[in-house]
Structure 1
Amino acid sequence: PQEALLALWASADDLLLLLPPALPETCVVAPHHRANCGAPGITPAQCKAKGCCFDSTVSGVPWCFHPAAVENQPDEECSF
C-alpha cells in the first residue's frame, strides 16, 4: 500500500511515532531501582527505540532504564 511506501522514506525518529506507546505504569520505577538501558548521552528517542523508559528529572541515576515487569494477574477460578 501507499502508506507503507511513505513509511520507508521516514526517518528513524518519525518511525517511532508509528509504534504504540509503552504503558505508562511500566515506566514507574523508583530511581534507585532503575536498571540502565542506555549509554550516557542517549536521547529520549533512542531510549524509547530500545523499548526502554526515559526520565531525566532525577540526577545521579540512569535516565534511560528498563521498564518494570508487568505481572499477569491470575485468572479467577469460577465454580459452577
Structure 2
Amino acid sequence: MPPRDARTADLIARLVAAGLAPDVKEYADRTRVEAHLSGPLSEEAWPDVFAALEDADEFGSSDGGTGRRIWAVIRRTQLP
C-alpha cells in the first residue's frame, strides 16, 4: 500500500536510498516508519539517515530483542 502523503513517501525513499528497508505502520492520526539496523551503515549513509529523520515530527531509536531500530512519526494532525 502506498503511503498516504508526500512527507511519508519522501522519508521512505530517503531511508531506502541510505540502504535501509523501512516498515510502515499507518494509524488514524499518524504514520510510523521503522527500519531495522541489521548491520553497520556506511559512514556516508548516516548524514542522509539523520537528515531524513529530522524532517519527521518525532524520531528516535530503540534497542530490543531484535536489535536496534530507528523510527520516525509523521502526524496527520498538528499538535497544539
* TM-score, structure 1 normalization: 0.26
Larger Rg: 1
* TM-score, structure 2 normalization: 0.26
